[in-house]
C-alpha cells in the first residue's frame, strides 16, 4: 500500500512536470511566432523603404536635366548614397527571408549573416561620410553646396538612425541564432 502511494505521488509530480514543460513550449512557440512576424514586417518595411528610396534617387537623376533647367539646381551622382540604398534594400530582403528559412529548417544563419553584413556596411559607409563630410553629407553629395541645409541634415539623420537600429536588431538576432 505504501509503495503504491509513493508511486502515485511520483506519477503526479511527473504529470505536473510534463504539463508545465508543454505549457512552456507552447508559450515559447507563441513568442517565436510573434518574433518571426515582427522580423518579416521589419524586413519588408526595410526592403520597401530602400527600394522606394532607390527609385526616387534614380528618378531624380534621370530627371536631373529637366529639374536643373526649371530650378537652377544641379544634381550629381552620389556613389556612396546609391551604395547605402542598395545595402539597405539587400538587408531588408535577407531579413525578411530569415524567418521563412528558419521555418523550413533551411540555412537561416546564411540569411541573417548577409542581412547583418549588408546593414553593417551601410552603417559603416554612413559613419565614414559623416566623419569626412559632416551631417549634411547626403545633400552635399547630391546638390553640392546647395545641399548644405537643415533639411538634408534631417534626411541624413533619418537614414543613419534607421541603419543603426536595423544593425542592432540584426546583431541581436544573429547572437540569438548562434547561441541556440
**pTM of the entire structure?**
0.78
Max CA-CA distance within the chain? Answer: 101
∠ Cα 86 89 90 (to 5°)? 85
pLDDT score for 154: 93
The length of the chain in residues reads: 180
Cell of residue 7, nine digits: 508511486
- Contact in structure between 43 and 97 (CB atoms under 8 Å): yes
- At residue 90 the predicted structure's pLDDT band, cuts being 50, 70 and 90, is very high
pLDDT score for 30: 53
Instruction: Tell me which residue has cell 508545465.
Output: 20
Can you tell me the distance from the alpha carbon of 72 to that of 177, in angstroms, rounded to the nearest whole number?
A: 52
pLDDT score for 118: 95
Q: What is the DSSP letter of 136?
A: T
Q: Give the model confidence (pLDDT) of 115-170 as tens digits.
A: 999 999 999 999 999 999 889 888 888 888 888 889 989 989 999 999 999 999 99
Domain boundaries, the chain: 2-179
Can you tell me the distance from the alpha carbon of 136 to that of 130, in angstroms, rounded to the nearest whole number?
A: 8
Amino acid at each position: 500500500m505504501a509503495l503504491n502511494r509513493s508511486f502515485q505521488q511520483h506519477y503526479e509530480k511527473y504529470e505536473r512536470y510534463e504539463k508545465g514543460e508543454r505549457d512552456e513550449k507552447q508559450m515559447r512557440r507563441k513568442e517565436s511566432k510573434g518574433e518571426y512576424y515582427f522580423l518579416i514586417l521589419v524586413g519588408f518595411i526595410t526592403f520597401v523603404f530602400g527600394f522606394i528610396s532607390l527609385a526616387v534617387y534614380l528618378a531624380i537623376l534621370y530627371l536631373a536635366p529637366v529639374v536643373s533647367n526649371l530650378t537652377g539646381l544641379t544634381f550629381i551622382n552620389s556613389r556612396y548614397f546609391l551604395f547605402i540604398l542598395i545595402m539597405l534594400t539587400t538587408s531588408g530582403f535577407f531579413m525578411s527571408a530569415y524567418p521563412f528559412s528558419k521555418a523550413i529548417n533551411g540555412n537561416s544563419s546564411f540569411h541573417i549573416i548577409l542581412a547583418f553584413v549588408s546593414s553593417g556596411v551601410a552603417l559603416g559607409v554612413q559613419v565614414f561620410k559623416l566623419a569626412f563630410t559632416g551631417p549634411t553629407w547626403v545633400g552635399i553629395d547630391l546638390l553640392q553646396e546647395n545641399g548644405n541645409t537643415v533639411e538634408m541634415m534631417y534626411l541624413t539623420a533619418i537614414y543613419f538612425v534607421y541603419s543603426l537600429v536595423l544593425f542592432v536588431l540584426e546583431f541581436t538576432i544573429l547572437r540569438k541564432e548562434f547561441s541556440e
